[in-house]
Chains A and B, each alone.
Chain A
Amino acid sequence: MAWMAWTAPTAIFFVTIACLLALFTVLAIRFPETPRVGVLRIETTRGDRLFITLLGSAFICLGWLALFGAPVWGALIACLIYAAAVFRWV
């Protein structure tokens, strides 16, 4: 695995994503749900909302980096607020 040039922060990042995917898979099996229509006027399931959250969060972090630079703690807080909004209203 040395060729992949792993670092602790990137490992934590991918483990978090993997855990989220595993959690949402378990949730989908244990508590199946029907898609719902939110503010975007599109049908979304929990998985779709997770995807929208992750993709949107990536852009929030990029936007933060472009405007304010590192560190990105502020962006992380914005991402959590965005995630809550997506799961509540999308």
Chain B
Amino acid sequence: MDKTQNNKAWFLVLPVLLLVAFSAVIPLMTVVNYSVQDTFGKNVFYWVGLEWFEEMLTSSRLHDALGRQVIFSAIILAIEVPLGIFVALNMPKKGFWASFCLVLMALPLLIPFNVVGTIWQIFGRVDIGLLGHALAALGLDYNYTNDAVDAWATVIVMDVWHWTSLVALLAYAGLQSIPEAFYQAAKIDQASRWSVFRYIELPKMSGVLLIAILLRFMDSFMIYTEPFVVTGGGPGNATTFLSIDLVKMAIGQFDLGPAAAFSLIYFLVVLLISWVFYTVMTNLDKQEGF
């Protein structure tokens, strides 16, 4: 069958292209330019070649921050994805309580990042915070300001509190799209609850779950505001994730060259992982024939 090609529609993309060029491409090009130069201010630059990249690639500072970041994202995904699915499976399917749960689940998502950080910063304090005070009353030696494990636990629980709803809502949308006939067929076959989950619900949710995993991975990999407000990257460097370290280097120390090289390596890692997720997602869609 001959299909008419009308490439004029591509002109409709032009405004977006200009916007992205202005807000992303040109700043990124500037970062590339910074990454091969050194500056002492006043917009005067000196060529250093690939020195900053060499320094960053062998820097224990970047390796440590990257290690912390990978561990943080892995823990976040390991908790939020199963928990989100569990919540979605237990949410009411219709009626008043379904709407009520949806609104309740959406609430944490509406709170700005710095407000979430402030809430948990106060909530966890031993002197005035409910959580810190309650844990102290139970005899637990909890203090996120001087104990690395406590700081990690606080940041992880805060992220789980803030973002599990997103996974739950996406999983819920996936569950709602499963036709009743599938469940009826499973009932006729006397399938167990686990079999229904494993062979009906999970495959039908896989598309939205991949989106949820991608979103949660990207967000947790780029996390900045919440841990910065709660722990400031401390105690020591215990919760200094990639973004926090990058901002310290670029704005705190004004080391624009190394920070530019650092951010480009960071960008490439994010780009690679996003591409892998995108490829898996599109191939999964093709296999399922959506």
Contacts and interface: CB of A to CB of B under 8 A. Distances in A.
A66 B37 contact: no
Interface stretch (B44-52, B105-113, B221-229): B44-52
Nearest to A4: B30
Interface in B253-290: 265, 268, 271-272, 275, 279, 283, 286
Contacts of A55: 268, 271-272, 275
A46 B43 CA distance: 40
B53 interface: yes
A58 interface: yes
Nearest to B53: A65
Contact of B37 (A7, A13, A51): A7
A66 B271 contact: no
A70 B49 CA distance: 9
A65 B45 contact: no
Interface of B is mostly: helix
Interface in A1-57: 2-7, 9-10, 13-14, 29, 42-43, 51, 55
B177 interface: no
Given A43-B286, A62-B268, A72-B50, A6 B57 contact: no
B23 interface: no
Interface in B36-62: 36-37, 39, 43, 45, 47, 49-51, 53-54, 57-58
Interface residues of A, number: 23
B244 to A, nearest CB: 22
Interface of B: 7, 26, 29-30, 32-34, 36-37, 39, 43, 45, 47, 49-51, 53-54, 57-58, 265, 268, 271-272, 275, 279, 283, 286
Interface of A: 2-7, 9-10, 13-14, 29, 42-43, 51, 55, 58-59, 62, 65-66, 69-70, 72
